[in-house]
Amino acid sequence: QVQLQESGPGLVKPSGTLSLTCAVSGGSISTIHWWTWVRQPPEKGLEWIGEIHHRGGANYSPTLKSRVTISLDKSKNQFSLNLTSATAADTAVYFCARKSSYSYGYDYWGQGVLVTVSS
């Protein structure tokens, strides 16, 4: 059973960089799957941030593309999110997820981590 676990600081200062890691267990990150970040501001809906594949491909939301980098570490079986120039609007629960092999839906999710951007 694949499990994903997000980790990282729960508080980021405005203009700082939001950095999160998603550890994958129960399966290799070097598979056919794409690995994804999704966020959810408090009391709001889901927003797709971007995705990465172990063969090097990455895709980002056009609204966040200038500030987002997603990377993957095969040796640690994890992938990461960096979001620069953070503002209060980036305050959200951040989820990592695995895209299924048979559709572009997400079949496994982490529990999510709340990141607050505040001084």
Q: Does residue 15 bind other proteins (CB under 8 A)?
A: no
Among the residue ranges 7-15, 20-28, 75-83, 100-108, the one whose residues contact other proteins (CB under 8 A): 100-108
Single residue of 35, 37, 110, 117 touching other proteins by CB under 8 A: 110
Structure tokens at 66: 């200038």
Q: Closest Cα to residue 38, out of 109, 117, 101, 116?
A: 109
- What's the rounded Cα separation, in Å, for the pair 107 and 117? 29
Count of residues near other proteins by CB under 8 A: 23
What is the nearest approach in angstroms of other proteins to the Cβ of residue 9?
20
Answer for which of 47, 76, 84, 86 binds other proteins (CB under 8 A) is 47
45 binds other proteins (CB under 8 A): yes
Smaller CB separation from other proteins, 17 or 100: 100
Any bridge partners for residue 60, and if so which? 50
The Cα diameter of the chain in Å comes to 43
**Distance between CA atoms of residues 97 and 81, nearest Å:** 12
Tell me which residue of 33, 115, 11 sits closest to 77, measured CA to CA. 33
Note whether 1 binds other proteins by CB under 8 A: no
Question: Which stretches of the chain bind other proteins, using CB under 8 A?
Answer: 38, 45-48, 59-63, 95, 97, 100, 102-107, 109-112
